[in-house]
Every structure is written in structure tokens, then in C-alpha cells.
Amino acid sequence: MSLLEKVNVTTGTGWQMGPCVGNTGTTSVGFPSLCLQDGPLGIRYAYPITAFPAGITTAATFNKDLMHSRGRAMGQEAQNLGINALLGPCIGPLGRSPLGGRNWEAFGADPYLQGVAGQLTVRGIQELRVMAVVKHWLGNEQERFRRKGELGSWPKVKEAISTNIGGRAAREVYAWPFQDAVREGATGVMCSYQQVNNSYACENSWLLNGLLKDELGFQGFVVSDWLAQRSGVNSVIAGMDMTMPGDGLSWADGLSLLGANLTSMVVNGTVPVSRLDDMALRIVASWYKLGQDDPNFLPKQKKPLFSSWLRDEIGPLYPRSSDQDQQMIVQNYFIDPRGQLGNLSQIQTGDVDHAKLARQVAAEGIVMLKNVNGTLPMSGGTIRKGPYKQIGIFGSDAAHSPIGPNGCIDRSCNVGTLGQGWGSGSVEYAYLISPLEAIQARAIQDQTTVDFVLQDGSNSVNSTAYQVNKHGKDAACLVFVTSDSGEGYISAEGNLGDRNDLKLWHDGDKAILSVADNCENTIVVIHSVGPVLMEAWADHPNVTAILMANLPGQESGSSLVDVLYGNVNPSGHLPYTIGKSLADYGADTEIMWDPNWEIPQQDFTEGIYIDYKWFDKHNITPRYEFGYGMSYTSFNFTQLEITTLWNGELAEEPPSATGLSGNPALWDPIFRVELLVTNTGKVAGKVAAQLYLSFPKAIEYDTPVRQLRGFEKVELAVGESKIVVFELTRRDISVWSEEKGAWVVPREKGGVGVGSYGVFVGPSSRGKGVSGETEKIPSVN
Ligand code: BGC
């Protein structure tokens, strides 16, 4: 490649100057323009595609197979559409604040869970030879003040917020899932909008050259978030490899900070040519690594088969350009990428029927929080025989929006049933099954009557509630409530991306209370981006069941009916804590609403203690703990056995070395944990066995009361038992030492070696499980 061609590989063509949200330049040597497309739950702007359940819902399944299959299915749709790189999965925000606008795109408020889900999603996508670009690196935990170009409403704020993260929290919390993704071979990492420790993430050498490329050994390319690049030379020298969308400091300005400027930087010697070679090499190598040089990788048209910007078949080559004489090309081939096999050699379950897969993920992503008196399943069970005679349905979230499922741009309104949050992480629905239609279809079979009021708040209750009340125990009332959020470039109902609070929208509390005051079996169904406050009604004697359905995507109603009627036994677990108040999550973890300086400074003072680790540390009892989720059956956890796999002495610090994903010694297996899980109830079901680790007490580091270090979903017939096995690695039992600049297995104070760790395995972080202790291991020196 010539100098100009290498530059072209690194530089986007500009906003809306190609079919995808990001398009790189071309070369004459057969390396094509790459198409980069959002996003984390499906293929943005393409139609039709599958609108999968969001990341948060997928996390709630605690099901590794589903995480992997969903990744494959998205990779498959991307490949069929001619996409080279998918801008996902999203494995940050971590959910430092439950109010964070984009938490729902990612996999919950625990780094371990995010790591596993992220890794398996990357695996799925890349098995289909599509590059996975994990995002957002690093610490983009709130939308407010995130991007310089979005600071218009705050004239005193001069630069984007700086998230100030200490070295330990960076490794143990925020970079943790990225390390798993790098280990999996993720080809791309997206650097985020805001500043980290007062240097923009895309020009922060400590973050890119240091932590990511050196310490984690990342060999792929770093692409800027869209307009996150704020400088030319600085970004290049700091380790950013590709700029997107290729404009300068603002949308479609045509003044790229790379492009011709990068050529000059190299020609005038400011940037060494070796650095440009490295940038291009990282991108081209990713293409080869996944076999995209195979002539069969791209569809036969050899380009993306859809346009993000135009809906007609034919349109201008550069949609954003005002050039009237430009070439007209086919923009949309109107193909259906769902469930076509593309060039796969090995077909796996879930590859063909994406609708079925989406439904399964959505159903397993429903978390049953309360179920008394056999309220559910609605088909009847051991306590209540047979289906209800009458069903009342309340709230606008039960049914379709009058302006259709795609009525608001990038799903930036909460009207009608809520299946996704808003922003670049959303997609167009090819269809959306509402709860109302799915429940009605099912109720007809049971000869159950269905009445509904689709108004919110106390308006929800009119004669319908009184009607159903006459039927007492034979009636069920389902109240549908929501909470929404999204990305900071658009707002909805006064929420500028981040959530204003943890309350239900549209007077949800009132709706629930007024229905519950009139109906003995009130079932609350929540569609939400994250935790909501439930104190006003969770203990109401007539609120007999609560389902947290998260964000289900296109199969909302069908997946809900699966669980409501017991075709699927609920097995979702909370990927976050539901607290009793916002303050429970920690005073410092709120969104920074008012800038504290012209460059807002957000110090992550809580360090590694977010979500349940904060609750545990400060002895705060949550409403429902992290990992919690009920079933129609019951499980027993017994016979915990811990085996030490490490032979001999264990050095406090692993031998220094760098490999792909960091020091390879971090993956040394140290302990094996086995236990028996038994289904002790009356129906078949699944449960996620979760392993939480507690560090030895007598060490020099403050560590969380418990932290997730393993989970396995087990399916059990009535009376069946299965052995579940976990392996704990050196990384799992280490802390990051600021002082040593390394991961260490802390030695016991005054002892001769590594103290014993507490191991707990159960159905949630505080549930009824089984505990044990590891052996002490002698340590070197
Ligand atoms: C988002 C990214 C997204 C990009 C391209 C940005 O606003 O932060 O997550 O991939 O846009 O659409």
C-alpha cells in the first residue's frame, strides 16, 4: 500500500458518506472499504432484521449458550448484509450509577458477568467472521457531559467530563470485561467520548498504548467513537488506529483530523511511518484473522446490501454530499438476512430461527421477583387449579404505540410497549408482539375473558378493575409499567439520556396501587432499562406477583406469555441490585447533574464498590439482591467440594509476561469447585448456580464481602440432580496492587502463605446455597 492507501484504511469517509454508520476509504490493492455498523442488539438501520433482547435482558438469562447463540445470530445477519464490523457488544457502561442512560445496552452491574457475556457475544459474532468492536473504552458511565459537541446546554462547561478512575478500579471493574473480550480475540475496541483522568479517551496514551495494548496485549485496532477524536497527532501517538466517522470536530464537516492531515503528519515527520504502518496493519490483520479475504465472505454484490440513510432502491453514492452529478447506485437490495445461513460450514442451534432464539432469550431474561399464593403460572398449578376466568390488563405498556413500533427516531420515546432503550444501540422493529395481543391469543384458548384499559396512572382503573374484582380469586389483573433511558444525543420526556430517577414512568406506582386496591391477584410486569423503586407497592398484599421483564425486543408478548403460562419456567436472575432508594446505591454514584468545574470532574471515589459490592460493604438490605430470581420449582444446593489444582507454592505476583489478554499466568487454574444442584419441586426448571468468592480476611487489601466468580445455568427435571463444576483462576483470586503495579494473590498477614477463600454457591448473591473454604496454599518467599 502507498502512504495514501494506508491513510485511507485508517480514516472514515465522513458522516453519511457511505452505506454504513462508518465506512473506511479504499485502496487499489484489494483491501476494501470496510462497513462498520451498530449495534449491540441487532443491525441498526437495516430492515428487516431481528430486534434481539437488549444486553441487560441477555445478562439476566445467566445462560452462556444463549449469550453465544445470540452473538452468532447477530454475526450471521451482519454477514448476510455485507457488514465487516459490528459495533458491539457493549461491555461498558458497567452501571456504576443505576441512572446511567446506556446501562441497558451492556450486561449488568458486575464486571465478571459483563466479561462472560461480552466474551461469548464476541465469540458468536466472530465465528461468523464479522469483526466485533467492543465498546466503550473506558469509563463512559454517564451521558451528561460525555461529548464535547453535546455541551450546548451547559455553556460554562468547556470540555467533556473526566471520569477519574484509580488503577485498581480500572483493572478490577471497568477493564475487566474488556480483558475477557481481548482474550477471546475481539478485533476492535472503541475508545469513548469522555475524558479519563483528564485526557480524552481517544488520545489517552495510558489507556490505549498502556492498559489496552501493552498490559492487555490487544493486537487489534482502536476505533474512535463517532467524533470522539479531539486531536490529530496526540490521538495517533496515544494509540488510536482508526477515526470515525472520519470528519473533524463536528458532523459532516469534511475536515478530518486524520485523512490528509495524517499524510502530512507522516510526511513532515511528526508521526513516524512505523506508527502509520502499525495502524493499518492492525486493521488489515483483523480482516485476515477472520477470513474476510475469502471471496465468499461478502455477498455477491461485494458491498453492503442496505443503506443506513436511504430507503429507496437507488440513490447517490455519497448520500450526504450535495454534489448533484454524483453516481447513482443500488442502495437497498431488500434482502432478508434473518436465518439465512450465509457461508457457514457448521450450523448450530439457534442459527436458523432467529425469532425463536430472540423469544427464548427474552423469556429466560424475565426475572420473577414475587409469586405468592400460586398466582403464577396463569394456567394454574398446584395451588390454584386451572386458568383464571377473567383477565384485566392495565397500562399503555401492554399494547402498541399508536405511531407504531418505529414511530420515534432511534426509539426515543416511551409510548406503547417498551422493548428497547433509545440511541445508537436501538434497531428498527421488523415486527413487535405486544403483551396484549399475545395474552389475548392465549386467553382465547382457555376461554378466559380479557378486558383492558390502556391509560396510565390512576386513570388505569375504571370499571374494569371493579369488574374483575367481582371474580375475586378467579380474576387476574396485569399492570404494565416502564422505565426508559438512552443515549445522550436525544431525549425523551425530559430525560436527556440518563434516567432522572429510579421511579416508574407515567405514574406507574399509582397505576399499580389503584389496581391492587381493587384486585386480589395483581401481577406487575415491568419493562425497564434497569432497577426501579418498588417500595410503594411491592409489599401490597394484593400485589401477588412481580415480573421484571427487562427489555425484551421484538418477542415481548410471546416471551411474556411463555413465562406467565408456564411454558417456560422462569429462570432469569437480576443482573443488578434492586435497592430501596437511589441513595442505597451510594451517594457518589449518582449521575453528576451539575458540573463541578468547567471540565466536570467525576471521581470514582467508591473504587471497586459498585452495586451489590456497595450494598454488602455498607450493610444495606436491598429489596431484591443481585442474582435473585424465582422459579415455579425449587432447588437445593449441596455437597460443595473444593479441590486445589495448584501444585506447590504460589507466588504472590505471577511471573511477569505479556500475552494476548495480559499475563497468561492470570489464567492458571488454582481451585476447582464442585457441587450438586437438585430440583426439589414439582416441575422441571432451570436455575443459574452462582459462585461468589470472599477473600481471606487477614490480608492487606480491602476486598468486597463477595464477588461473582462463576455461573452456570442448569436444567433439571423433577427430582433430578446435576453436578456443577467451576474453575477459579489466578485472576479470580487476585487483587490489583497499585503499589506493585501488578495483580497479586494477597498473602495472609503474619501467615506463611495464601489464606483460605470463602466460596459460596447459590441461586443469588444472598440466597440459600452452600458454602465452603479453600485450602491455604504456601507461598514462595
Ligand atoms: C455511540 C456509539 C455508536 C456510534 C455510531 C455513538 O454515538 O456512542 O456507541 O457505535 O455512535 O453510531
Q: What is the pLDDT of residues 325-380, one digit of tens each?
A: 999 999 999 999 997 555 444 556 556 789 999 999 999 999 999 999 899 999 99
Going 609 to 615 to 616 to 619, the CA torsion angle's sign is: positive
Domain residue spans of the chain: 3-300, 366-567, 611-778
Q: String of b and e for 436-453 (b: at least 16 CB within 10 Å)?
A: bbbbbebbeebebbbbbb
* Atom 4 of ligand 1, nearest CA residue: 226
Q: How far is the CA of 192 from the centre of ligand 1 (A)?
A: 9
* Atom 8 of ligand 1, nearest CA residue: 225
| Catalytic residue ranges | 225
Q: How far is the CA of 166 from the centre of ligand 1 (A)?
A: 26
Query: Is 244 near ligand 1, meaning CB less than 6 Å away?
Result: no
**Of residues 612 and 464, more confidently modeled:** 612
Q: What is the pLDDT of residues 19-71, one digit of tens each?
A: 999 999 999 999 999 999 999 999 999 999 999 999 999 999 999 999 999 99
Q: Using alpha carbons only, how large is the chain's radius of gyration in Å?
A: 26
pLDDT for residue 132: 99
Class of 3-300 in CATH: alpha beta
Q: How far is the CA of 302 from the centre of ligand 1 (A)?
A: 25
Using the structure block, give the residue that is written with the C-alpha cell 490529530. Answer: 232
Closest Cα partner for 77 from 354, 292, 419, 347? 354
Confidence of residue 381 (pLDDT cuts 50, 70, 90): confident
Q: What is the pLDDT of residues 535-548, one digit of tens each?
A: 999 999 999 999 99
Q: How far is the CA of 212 from the centre of ligand 1 (A)?
A: 20
Task: Give how far the C-alpha of residue 755 lies from the chain's centroid of Cα atoms, to the nearest Å.
Answer: 35
Beta strands in 285-364 (DSSP E): 314-316, 328-330
Q: What is the pLDDT of residues 400-449, one digit of tens each?
A: 999 999 999 999 999 999 999 999 999 999 999 999 999 999 999 999 99
Q: What is 371-436 written as a DSSP string?
A: E-TT--STT--SSS-S--SEEEEESGGGS--TT-TT-SGGG----SS--S-BSTT----S----HH
Query: Is 146 near ligand 1, meaning CB less than 6 Å away?
Result: no
Please state the atom number of ligand 1 nearest to the C-alpha of residue 38. Answer: 10
CB 195 within 8 A of CB 214: no
The three cell numbers of residue 68 are 453465544
Mean pLDDT for 61-86 is: 96
pLDDT for residue 660: 73
Task: Give how far the C-alpha of residue 539 lies from the chain's centroid of Cα atoms, to the nearest Å.
Answer: 30
Closest Cα partner for 699 from 631, 634, 749? 749
Query: Is 44 near ligand 1, meaning CB less than 6 Å away?
Result: no
Query: Is 548 near ligand 1, meaning CB less than 6 Å away?
Result: no
Please state the atom number of ligand 1 nearest to the C-alpha of residue 105. Answer: 9
Mean pLDDT for 700-716 is: 98
Q: How far is the CA of 696 from the centre of ligand 1 (A)?
A: 42
Beta bridge partners of 188: 133, 221
Phi, psi (rounded to 5 degrees) for 132 = -105, 130
Please state the atom number of ligand 1 nearest to the C-alpha of residue 133. Answer: 10
Do 611-778 and 3-300 fall under one CATH topology? no
pLDDT for residue 345: 47
Q: How far is the CA of 143 from the centre of ligand 1 (A)?
A: 12
* Atom 6 of ligand 1, nearest CA residue: 226
Superfamily of domain 366-567 in the CATH hierarchy: Glycoside hydrolase family 3 C-terminal domain (3.40.50.1700)
Q: How far is the CA of 137 from the centre of ligand 1 (A)?
A: 12
Fold of 611-778: Immunoglobulin-like (2.60.40)
CA dihedral 281, 283, 287, 293 (to 10 degrees): -60
Query: Is 137 near ligand 1, meaning CB less than 6 Å away?
Result: no
Residue 92 CA to residue 83 CA, distance in Å, equals 23
pLDDT for residue 469: 73
Mean per-residue pLDDT of the chain: 95
The preferred substitution site among 21, 35, 41, 225 for testing ligand 1, maximizing ligand atoms within 8 Å of CB, is: 225
* Atom 9 of ligand 1, nearest CA residue: 424
The preferred substitution site among 16, 35, 38, 140 for testing ligand 1, maximizing ligand atoms within 8 Å of CB, is: 38
Query: Is 135 near ligand 1, meaning CB less than 6 Å away?
Result: yes
Query: Is 424 near ligand 1, meaning CB less than 6 Å away?
Result: yes
Confidence of residue 484 (pLDDT cuts 50, 70, 90): very high
Q: How far is the CA of 24 from the centre of ligand 1 (A)?
A: 16
* Atom 5 of ligand 1, nearest CA residue: 226
Q: What is the bridge-based pairing of β-strands 221-224 and 188-191?
A: parallel
* Atom 12 of ligand 1, nearest CA residue: 424
Question: pTM to 2 decimals?
Answer: 0.98
State how far the alpha carbon of 199 is from the alpha carbons of 133, 230, 544, in Å: 22, 10, 51
Please state the atom number of ligand 1 nearest to the C-alpha of residue 424. Answer: 12
Query: Is 191 near ligand 1, meaning CB less than 6 Å away?
Result: no
Beta strands in 604-706 (DSSP E): 635-644, 669-679, 685-694
Closest Cα partner for 161 from 601, 499, 488? 601
Query: Is 63 near ligand 1, meaning CB less than 6 Å away?
Result: no
The preferred substitution site among 226, 244, 422 for testing ligand 1, maximizing ligand atoms within 8 Å of CB, is: 226
CB 46 within 8 A of CB 80: no
Confidence of residue 473 (pLDDT cuts 50, 70, 90): confident
Closest Cα partner for 367 from 524, 481, 558? 524
Residue 510 CA to residue 504 CA, distance in Å, equals 10
Q: How far is the CA of 225 from the centre of ligand 1 (A)?
A: 6
pLDDT for residue 765: 98
The three cell numbers of residue 447 are 376461554
CA triple 35-40-41, angle to 5 deg: 110
The preferred substitution site among 43, 87, 141 for testing ligand 1, maximizing ligand atoms within 8 Å of CB, is: 87
CB 745 within 8 A of CB 730: yes
